[in-house]
Structure 1
Amino acid sequence: MLTLAWQTVKARTSGFIGAFVAVLCGTALVAACGILMESGLRGGVPTQRYAATDVVVSGDRIVRPPGGDVLAFEHASEQPPVSAELVAKVRAVPGVRDAVAEQTFPATVVGPDGQVLADKPSFGHNWGSAVLAPFRLVEGRAPAAGDEVVLDAGLAAAVGDEVRIATRSVPVTYRVVGVAAGVGSRQASVFFSDAKADELAGRPGKVSAIGVLGGTPGQADAAGAGDLADRVEEALAGDHVSVSSGADRSAAEFDDVSQTKSILALIAGSFGGYAVLVAIFVVASTLALTVEQRRREFALLRAVGATPRQVRKLIGVETLVVAAVAGVLGSLLGIAVSQGLRSAFAGIGVVPADFELTISPIPLAAALLIGLGAARVAAWSASRRPSSINPVEALGEASLQKRDVGRVRLVIGWVTLAIGVGATAVPLFLRGQLGAAMSVMAALVIIIGLALVGPRVVGRMIEVVAPGLGRLSRVSGHLAAANAVKNSRRMAAAVTPLMLAIGFAVVNFYSQTTFTAAVQQETTSSITADHVITGVAGVPAELTAAVRGVPGVDGVTPLVRTQVITARETGDSVEVQRGPAHGIDGDAAVDLGVTSGSVKDLTTGTVALSDSYAFWNNKKVGDTAEFWYADGQPARLKVVATFKNDLAFGDHVMSAADARAHTNAGMDSAVLVRTNDVARLNDLIGRYPGLAVTSALAGPDRSDQRMQFLLNLVAVGVILGYVAISVSNTLVMSTAQRRREFALLRLVGTGRRQVVRMMRAEALLTVGIAVVLGIAVSALPLGLLAIGLTGTPLPSGPGWVFLAVLAGAALLGTASIALATRMSLRTKPIETIGMRE
């Protein structure tokens, strides 16, 4: 069987090109996702501030609600502190030479003109932690008094200079007593005495991390560090900390790396699963077309005695031969694809620019096996019909196209279509990101339903449009109309992937832009301030009181943007989500749209909930709301109000003090001011470098949603590229199949140009139907989403994207058919008519 399959593949190389390309691209996608997933577990950036450590102990950022399964967790957006008492506990672990506590807090060096000196983020540390990098003095001495500092060499200061440093207040003058040099860093470092650093960190009894030094200096190895990490982790098992060694140390050092490692594995996993499904779909559709083109061959095999099992086995072995070659090449190609995805993710801020991928044979081998499995499933699906036809009827059936789809398929398709149409109304009752996600899901369900009933729908559309082609052109138009009517299933196979590409791209893009516009619209109407004070690193909390004392100020509201993690039981599982939240002090410059309770009661230990969140979680004023703060610490706050403007403020609004206490910066995000005297405000903030007065406030902190939107764009782009390959394969193969038809037309007197014009008319008909269905698929869910979010049926976003999607689909469809037609017409008709199929 293998010999026969190999001979068939060699003899029909052109017929297997489509399946080869589909498996190649699918395997490359899966391999790239596997590399990204492994990098999320083992990758990172080079360790810098902790380069001399063997192990780093930091706060555990993983929140796991009780009762949840292994996948029920979320990553805290802020780094939680560690108890200082654990330093002695770590020192007592066998094999630990020393344990060093580190404090990290914002510290900005300001020049004489009030400008920030560093061109990268700047943080303050205790001098005792300098050994963890290590930083070594190249000039001067270590800081001893509270007004002494050591700067790293990149800050260009000399011993004896006086510098101004701002932490969470106005800049204070310090004397430079030393200059230190260490490893190259993405951050600028300012070292204070240990006592002063504890004071400036503002967390009594807490430290940022603990660096662990083990064994003999300069002789630690990866295996030894791993064993030491296991012992430290065992000693701190009940202290809710994270113990890191090797490449994982950078996750404790850099906040963006910590979040990247957490989300990259999840993104790659979900994207990889989606890529596998699309790969199976594309390979199956391409292979089905290849098998359909060989129906006479399989009919002959059945007529001369081949059993259904032998036919299925032949198709399966042929597919595995092609898939094996394509899978090996695709796995290697996945390395380049993973690098491209990493660059794309870095460009949109999902991963740091210096994040390094981990490449090993494991994801490549897994992708090869998945590619072979997908090809085998596709072969099984494609081989069912040719293997089950009756041998007596085989040759007769092979010469005719089945006129209609099965009744069961039609019923499933119409039911699926009805479910999708019904789901488009969900955003009218469910606002927010979930409503936008439901619009995308509804569109996908509609696309699946249309794909199932496609031959019937496309057939009806052709019956309406085809007569017009005959009137436009007596010969070419008439032939195109006749072909379309008699071969509606073939045209439906070409229309479906084009429709999918249009609907999928348009709905994914405009659902997010509509949601973003709704957020900005509600933010604008909810912020009643005349002016907003913002800063590059935040606004000191003390500024609110100072602004209140400025003459002419009618109202002041500090605003702290943060995030919270919530958990809700859904059946037997627990759903964990991270969402935006805000901290405020009074409502002098904001309008939450309060529906019950009062924001005046919003003090430390209380919270206001959005109407939708309160409804779905059965909460009312006076109840206790349980969630987790941005640093992963649990919260139990009393509900004092509910509000409706959740797009602008999120589902949780708490006191500014509570929100601020659980952020690393410990500062406000902005101060909202109602006043007409902006000159006095500018005079006040002149004492705080980096602050500015603006007249508008950007939307709430929805970095997760923005990141997801950008990720969706990347994913949609990759998937659409794969779908484009499927469309091109389908159109080229179905057109090339008609070489004998073209030859026959030319032999009976039809000119070459008339055949080309006939195919051009068919291409326009195919693209036109796909565009109409694609617009219909996206118009209903997007229109209802826009009504639910903005009150108008027109989605928000740039119109050129919509036109570009339509133009791209039209160009792809017409170009594929035109190219295949011209290639099919190269051979002389008399030679083509005598060629075997």
Structure 2
Amino acid sequence: MIRLALALAKAGGLVVVFAAVLGGMALVTGTGVLVDSAFRAQPPLRLSGADVLVSARQSIPLKEEPDIALPERARIPGSLVASASEVPGVAAVAGDLAFPAAVGSGTAGRTADPATAGHGWSSLALSGRITAGRAPRAADEIAVRGARVGDRLRLTAAGTPGTYRVSAVVDAPGVYFTDAVATALAARTAGRAGTVDLVAVRAAPGVSPETLAARLKAGLGDGYEYATGRDRADAESPGAAAGRGLLLVLPSSIGGISLLVVGFVVGGGLALSVNRQRRDLALLRAAGATPRQVRRLVAVQAAAAALPAVPFGAALGYFLAARFGELLAGIGLVRADQPLVYGPLPAVAAALLLLAVTRVAAWAGSLRVSRMPVVSGLPEPRTPSPGRTRAGLLLMLAALGLSVTPLAVRSEAGMIGPGIASIVAVIGLALAGPRLVQGVARALAGSRLMTRLPGPLWLAVHNSHGYALRTAGAVAALGMVVTLGLSVVLTQTTMAKARSDEVALGLRGLVTITAPGLGGVPRDLLADVRSRTEAAGMAMTTVVTEPMLTGDDPGLMARPAMALGPDAEGLVDLDLADGRLSGLKGAAVAVEEGLGRVGRSMDVIMGDGARVRARVAATYRRGLGFGPIVVSRDLAAAHTTTGLDSAVLARPADFGDLARRPGLRFDSRAAGPQAAMASAQTLVNVAVLAVLLGYVLVAVANRLVATTTARREEFAGLRAIGLTRRQLRRVVRWEALLVGAAASVSGLVLSAVPLVLLSVGFLARPLPAGPLWLVPASILAVMTIVSLAMELPARKIMT
């Protein structure tokens, strides 16, 4: 069977399958590495000398879904340090505190390691050691890495600037203060007095970390987490654990499209291979081969083309994953010191998935041929399946219905319909494409215009009509490139424009003052700005709520939220429907109109896991730009890691020397709470989509080359009836033009309908926002690839 299958196989069709599986392996392995890293990647561990880390719970367990990681630090009582020291098997114990601490310029122009966290001196015993100097003793003394003993450094610690003397140089990251100073700085965060972030415990000789963790749990209770081994990194860095969740969400958001495209490309390559063997398979049937044997023969051919592509595709996939990791770190979605995990599991899973797709595609591609009577297998089929055509048209009609969603729902859920519509329309085009191409070609062939066309164009039109299946495969694949490329990019940019417009209206005329790198704006900044102009503080946090918007998951959902106080009244315009922002005091929230009523209460889980019963102080209409919920600054300050404002919103004024203060940034336009995540998702989706569509273009080009090369006998017959080489080349050029035009038009139509309705719903205009030059660029790319992939091999076989 294997020898016969390889003897009958046509090289061109198998090369297409090889290229399709190669690219598919690269895509699936690359995204698989990101998903695998979401479960296994760990940031560097600072408290490496601790065998057990005791912390508060930093996640919300869910029954049927992954736990929700909480990005804000939840604290535990400082009394646990003394309690842990009394547990048998404990050799050393320290309470660890962490708060923002950014190092500025120092003596003689030297700068220390730009640390981002301050700690108490006692925790150094479990994280590093002194390399020079002595332990800090005075309130203005610190220990830091990368400086010299005696240097004086300008430091902003817990939002308070000051000058400190370096008394020791250490080999651990961070800035180390005396325990008394660290406790005082950390206590400036609301509700933090008398608490610590972690209790770090070192086991006595002969006591395993697991045994010690069990003893600590018995002594301290079940209300805490006891991390050992690799889990210590998550306990130490809750924000990293929350960020790793994005490695799971972002690849998954485009994983369905990737698998869909890979399946189409592999299936198209196998269909081409099977079609080129129709006569040989028909002869096998005549010789007594059963339909099952014919299908097995095609499956062997598919496996022979796919298996050699697996290792090369896997290697390319790990390369792509590294580039994706760099992209995610560059835009701040994951920590730069949190490496990806390059294990064998993604490659193995991708290989099994791609081989399964190949097997199903081989079965589907050979099913019709294996069941045909012998005489029906000799000519190429010219009639597309009616059932396939009807299914495709129904999917296109469904896509039209989904596209109307933004006209009825003006929220984040409104973009779900157009996004799904593009995918559904692409599937419909792939199914109904042959009949549509045949119908258009028939209409052209039967029109009076045909009598006035030059001979090569007349012949190209009739070829497209007679070989609709061959033509439609390229049209559907290239139309998919245009549809997905324009839909994904312009949908994201249109939504970004709608969000930014709402935020601009809400913060119109305000200056946003931030302090990148300081962990939050200094505590004295708001009062300083208020002495010059009207101003309000603003913080960013995360809250976990029940489903609030149409399209939300049925369970709990974490979402970014802005925190404002009563001073935002008259400054920030949320387009209030009821209530006033002056009511944002204590445990209070404002919600988008329709999600609550003023005076009612709602349950909110803050970013550190604290459950709060908050009253609704106001409802507003600008939920697209500001999100469905805004919490009070009082509430956010008590449940964020730093307790600092993220920005100060102020009316324009002469800020004088304040504008020259190091670390501050002044912007005339601010981004809303949804902007950072949305822009990051857009960038990642566009990057992966570019790779995906590039793969499709290469695969389609390979298929066109193989299809054109297989027409040697057809070209020879045309030469025999009198066509010259020049006329044949003109026929091929006209066919390429028809294929490229059909693909471009179908792609533009399928993408234009959802995009126009999305723009009308969110921007009140039919033209989407974003790089509209993508339209001519997509058409040019399609026409160029089709022309080169058809004309170059045609020239070669005509010589």
Counterpart of 2:195?
A: 206
Q: How many angstroms apart in 2 are the aligned matches of 1:234 and 1:751?
A: 91
Distance in 2 between residues matched to 1:162 and 1:478, nearest whole Å: 85
Q: Contact (CA 8 Å) 1:60, 1:242: kept in 2 or not?
A: no
Match of 1:307 in 2: 290
Match for residue 660 of structure 1? 637
- Checking the alignment, whether the CA contact within 8 Å between 1:300 and 1:395 is kept in structure 2 is no
Equivalent position of 1:750 in the other structure: 723
Matched, 1:148 2:140: yes
1:149–1:190 CA contact under 8 A, matched in 2:
no
Structure 2 residue 360 is the aligned partner of structure 1 residue 377: yes
Residues 461 and 512 of structure 1: CA distance in aligned 2, closer, same or farther (over 3 Å) = same
Partner of 1:453, secondary structure, is helix
* CA distance in structure 1 between the partners assigned to 2:679 and 2:83 by the alignment: 42
* Contact 2:5/2:301, CA 8 A, preserved across alignment: yes
> How much has 1:383 moved relative to structure 2?
1.6
Q: Does 1:191 align with 2:189?
A: no
Taking the aligned partners of 1:471 and 1:58, their CA distance within structure 2 comes to: 83
Deviation of 1:527 after TM superposition, in Å, equals 1.3
Judge conservation of contact 2:419–2:487 (CA < 8 Å) in 1: yes
Contact 1:603 1:654 in 2 (8 A): no
Tell me how far apart the structure 1 counterparts of residues 212 and 789 of structure 2 sit (CA, whole Å).
61
Query: Aligned in 2, Cα 1:87/1:817: closer, same or farther, shift over 3 Å?
Result: farther
Match of 1:35 in 2: 33
Q: Secondary structure at the match of 1:743?
A: helix
Give 1:509 deviation, angstroms.
Answer: 0.5
Say how many residue pairs are matched: 789
Following superposition, the deviation at residue 197 of structure 1 comes to 0.7
2:422 pairs, out of 443, 453, 460, with 443
SS at match of 1:539: coil
TM-score (norm 1): 0.87
1:746–1:683 distance in 2 versus 1, CA, 3 Å: same
Of 80, 91, 95, the match for 1:101: 95
**Counterpart among 575, 584, 596 of residue 578 in structure 2:** 596
**CA–CA separation in structure 2 for the residues paired with 1:3 and 1:235:** 70
Q: Render the CA deviation track for 1:365-397: whole Å, top value 9, x for unaligned.
A: 33322222221111111121011112xxx2245
Deviations 1:452-496 (A, max 9, x none): 221232233334556699578622112112211222232111100
Scaled by the length of structure 2, the TM-score of the pair is 0.91
Structure 1 Cα separation of the partners of residues 401 and 349 of structure 2:
39
The Cα of 1:320 is off from its aligned counterpart by: 2.3
Counterpart AA for 1:199: A
Moved more, 89-98 or 130-139: 89-98
Q: Work out the CA distance in 2 between the residues paired with 1:41 and 1:423.
A: 34
Shift of 1:809: 2.2
Kept in 1, the 8 Å contact 2:579–2:617? The answer is: yes
Q: Distance in 2 between matches of 1:417 and 1:117?
A: 62
Matched, 1:158 2:149: yes
Give the conservation status (yes or no) of the 8 Å contact 1:53–1:211.
yes
RMSD: 3.1
Aligned residue for 1:420, secondary structure, equals: helix
1:498 paired with 2:449, answer no
In structure 2, the partner of 1:803 is 776
Q: Aligned to 1:44, what secondary structure does the other structure show?
A: coil
Task: Show the counterpart of 2:77.
Answer: 83
Deviations 1:398-450 (A, max 9, x none): 314232322x3233222221111011111122223332233211111122222
Q: In the superposition, relative to structure 1, how do residues 585 and 823 fare at CA in structure 2: closer, same or farther (>3 Å)? A: same
Q: Does structure 1 conserve the Cα–Cα contact (< 8 Å) formed by 2:132 and 2:149?
A: no
Note closer, same or farther for the CA distance 1:274–1:213 as it changes in structure 2 (3 Å cut).
farther
Q: CA deviation at 1:153?
A: 3.5
CA contact (8 A) 2:140 2:163 kept: no
Question: Are the aligned partners of 1:69 and 1:573 in contact in 2 as well (CA < 8 Å)?
Answer: no
Question: Are 1:362 and 2:345 matched, yes or no?
Answer: yes
Cα distance, 1:169 vs structure 2 = 4.6
CA distance in 1, matches of 2:341, 2:605: 32
Residue in structure 2 matched with residue 831 of structure 1 by the alignment = none
Tell me by how many angstroms 1:267 deviates: 3.9
Give the direction of change, closer, same or farther, for the CA distance of 1:776–1:327 in structure 2 (3 Å limit).
Answer: same
Contact kept, 8 Å, 2:89 with 2:212, in 1: the verdict is: yes
Deviation at residue 98 of structure 1 after TM alignment: 2.2
Q: Assess, with a 3 A threshold, how the Cα gap between structure 1 residues 345 and 580 changes in structure 2: closer, same or farther.
A: closer
- Report deviation, 1:190: 1.9
Cα displacement string for residues 23-49 of structure 1 (whole angstroms, at most 9, x for unaligned residues): 2222233333333333332233443x2
1:738 maps to amino acid: R
Q: Quick one: which amino acid aligns to residue 305 of structure 2?
A: V
Does the 8 A contact of 2:8 with 2:280 survive in 1? Answer: no
Would the alpha carbon gap of residues 229 and 326 (structure 1) be closer, same or farther in structure 2, given more than 3 Å must change?
farther
> Residue 180 of structure 1 corresponds to which residue in structure 2?
169
**Where does residue 774 of structure 1 map in the other structure?**
747
Give yes or no for contact 1:57–1:244 (8 Å, CA) kept in 2. Answer: no
Alpha-carbon distance between aligned partners in 2 of 1:492 and 1:112, rounded to the nearest angstrom? 69
Which AA in structure 2 matches 1:670? A
Q: Which amino acid aligns with 2:397?
A: A
> Residue 501 and residue 694 in structure 1: after superposition, are their counterparts in 2 closer, same or farther (change >3 A)?
closer
* 2:117 aligned counterpart, secondary structure: strand
Q: Which residue in the other structure is 1:167 paired with?
A: 157
Aligned equivalent of 1:340: 323
Q: What residue ranges of structure 2 are gaps of 5+ in the alignment?
A: none
Alignment partners' CA distance in 1, 2:255 and 2:52: 32
Which stretch shows the higher mean deviation, 653-662 or 31-40? 31-40
2:522 maps to a residue whose letter is P
Q: Which residue of the partner structure matches residue 239 of structure 1?
A: 223
1:404 aligns with 2:384: yes
Check whether the contact 1:144–1:193 (CA below 8 A) recurs between aligned residues: yes
Q: Which runs of 5+ in 1 are unaligned?
A: 827-837
Mapped pair 1:317 → 2:300: yes
1:578 aligns with 2:551: no
Q: How far apart are 1:89 and its partner, in Å? A: 5.2
The 2-side partners of 1:780 and 1:113 are apart by 63
Partner SS for 1:172? strand
2:612 and 2:15 mapped to 1: Cα distance?
59
Distance in structure 2 (CA, Å) of the matches to 1:801 and 1:474:
33
Cα distance, 1:741 vs. partner?
0.4
SS of match in other structure, 1:641: strand
Q: Secondary structure at the match of 2:700?
A: helix
Q: Equivalent residue of 2:773, what SS?
A: helix
Give the match for residue 397 of structure 2: 418
Residue type matched to 1:429 in 2?
A: A
Cα-to-partner distance string for 1:44-103 (whole Å, 9 max, x where unaligned) = 3443x2233334344443233xxx533154333333333334434554566442232111
Separation in structure 2 between the aligned mates of residue 29 and residue 274 of structure 1, nearest angstrom: 11
| Cα offset, 1:112, TM superposition | 7.9
User: Does the C-alpha gap of structure 1 residues 2 and 225 become closer, same or farther in structure 2, counting only changes over 3 Å?
Assistant: farther
Match of 1:488 in 2: 468
Deviation at 1:621, TM superposition (A): 2.0
Equivalents in 2 of 1:231, 1:7: separation in Å? 69
Structure 1 residues 784-793 or 271-280, which shifts more? 271-280
CA distance in structure 2 between the aligned counterparts of 1:716 and 1:488, rounded to whole angstroms: 29
The match for 1:646 is 623
Indicate the residue corresponding to 2:656 in structure 1. Answer: 682
Larger mean Cα displacement after TM superposition, 638-647 or 799-808: 799-808
> Does the alignment pair 1:634 with 2:628?
no
Q: Which secondary structure does the structure 1 equivalent of 2:398 belong to?
A: helix
